[in-house]
């Protein structure tokens, strides 16, 4: 198996991805069934060494029988994730307290409110005074300042201009919104080429420019870009305690796929993330 080990994960292109900042490990490809028990024993010990206490498995339908009993918990699904085949998401919590939400009542309220809104699918109008474009490497410094102003912590180092420049060279497609020459909002689509799907991510709007539909406009544009690339599915992980991005997903026809408990180090703590997906093509 290929293993990517680093403090921050920038891609989801390997069989196993270790993300110590969020104290988690993701597994995208399982070994043969004959090696399953040995693999789990190795993965457990390796996770302890890496100080990761949540293991996440993206599983094809034919593999689900391996996860029907403890210690695994099904947290959701992303339809079309594996080149049109569905991914079922199971987690193994090595520390029991990690399996408990930060604020279950508030998380339920956010989700219920978001799901009560109708889907608009496309929203392409740019508000008066704003412009949208693809950023270049020269914009990385200002983009990093935007992310620092919005997030106390973030699962990947979007506060670092060098990191932003590096991922611009990969299959990460950014948009930015400007107002009077300043970057006030940004968004990206991170293409997982081996799976032919993409994560809608890195969404941020400066507090002074919220409630203008800036992220919705960028979402609409990026969705069209990904459709032209022939991808099978788009997905997004949205903070379960934050209404805004959950609503953006609903607006654009994304379906709720479940909640990943205490999944990401964002806004200063490990927060649960709601799964959203939108199939662009169906087998």
Would you give the DSSP letter of residue 31? P
Domains along the chain with CATH numbers: 3-99 (3.40.630.30), 104-279 (3.40.630.30)
Cα angle 90-16-34, degrees, rounded to a multiple of 5: 70
Q: At what angle do helices 104-115 and 243-251 cross, to 10 degrees?
A: 30
CA distances from 5 to 17, 40, 245 (A): 7, 18, 29
In the Cβ-directed half-sphere of 103, how many Cα atoms lie within 13 Å? 10
Residue 10 pLDDT greater than 60, yes or no = no
Write the pLDDT tens digit of every residue in 178-214.
999 999 999 999 999 999 999 999 999 999 999 999 9
Q: Which residues pair with 67 in a beta bridge?
A: none
pLDDT of residue 14: 61
pLDDT of residue 123: 65
| Average pLDDT of every residue of the chain | 93
Write the pLDDT tens digit of every residue in 74-105.
999 999 999 999 999 999 999 999 999 999 99
| Under 8 Å between Cβ of 78 and 49 | no
pLDDT of residue 122: 65
In whole angstroms, give the CA distance from residue 277 to residue 239.
Answer: 14
Q: How far is CA 133 from the centre of its chain?
A: 22
pLDDT of residue 7: 40
Helices (H), 14-160: 36-49, 104-115, 140-150
In whole angstroms, give the CA distance from residue 123 to residue 253.
Answer: 11
Residue 146 pLDDT greater than 80, yes or no = yes
| Structure tokens given for 112 | 């219920």
Write the pLDDT tens digit of every residue in 234-253.
999 999 999 999 999 999 99
End-to-end CA distance of the chain: 28
pLDDT of residue 100: 97
Helices (H), 35-139: 36-49, 104-115
In the Cβ-directed half-sphere of 250, how many Cα atoms lie within 13 Å? 15
- pTM (2 decimals)? 0.93
Average pLDDT over residues 144-153: 95
Write the pLDDT tens digit of every residue in 186-196.
999 999 999 99
Task: Label residue 283 by pLDDT band (50, 70, 90).
Answer: confident
CA-closest candidate to residue 175, choices 133, 142, 118, 211: 133
Residue 5 pLDDT greater than 80, yes or no = no
pLDDT of residue 182: 98
């Amino acid at each position: 198996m290929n293993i990517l080990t680093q403090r921050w994960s920038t891609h989801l292109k390997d069989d196993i991805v270790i993300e110590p900042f969020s104290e988690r490990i993701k597994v995208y490809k399982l070994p043969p069934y004959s090696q399953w028990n040995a693999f789990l024993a190795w993965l457990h010990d390796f996770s302890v060494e890496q100080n990761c206490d949540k293991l996440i498995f993206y599983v094809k339908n034919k593999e689900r029988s391996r996860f029907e009993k403890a210690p695994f918990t099904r947290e959701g699904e992303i339809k079309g994730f594996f080149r049109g085949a569905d991914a079922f998401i199971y987690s193994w919590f090595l520390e029991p307290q990690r399996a408990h939400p930060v604020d279950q009542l508030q998380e339920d309220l956010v989700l219920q409110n978001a799901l009560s809104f109708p889907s608009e699918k496309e929203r392409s109008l740019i508000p008066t005074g704003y412009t949208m474009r693809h950023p270049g490497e020269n914009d990385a410094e200002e983009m990093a300042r935007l992310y620092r102003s919005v997030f106390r912590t973030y699962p990947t180092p979007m506060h670092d201009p060098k990191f932003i420049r590096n991922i611009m060279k990969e299959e990460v497609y950014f948009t930015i919104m400007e107002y009077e020459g300043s970057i006030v909002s940004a968004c990206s689509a991170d293409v997982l080429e081996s799976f032919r799907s993409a994560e809608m991510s890195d969404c941020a709007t400066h507090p002074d420019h919220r409630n203008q539909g800036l992220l919705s406009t960028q979402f609409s544009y990026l969705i069209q870009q990904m459709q032209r690339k022939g991808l099978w599915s788009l997905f997004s992980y949205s903070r379960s305690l934050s209404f805004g991005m959950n609503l953006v997903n609903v607006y654009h026809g994304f379906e709720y796929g479940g909640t990943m408990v205490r999944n990401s180090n964002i806004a200063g703590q490990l927060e649960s993330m709601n799964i959203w997906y939108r199939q662009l093509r169906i087998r």
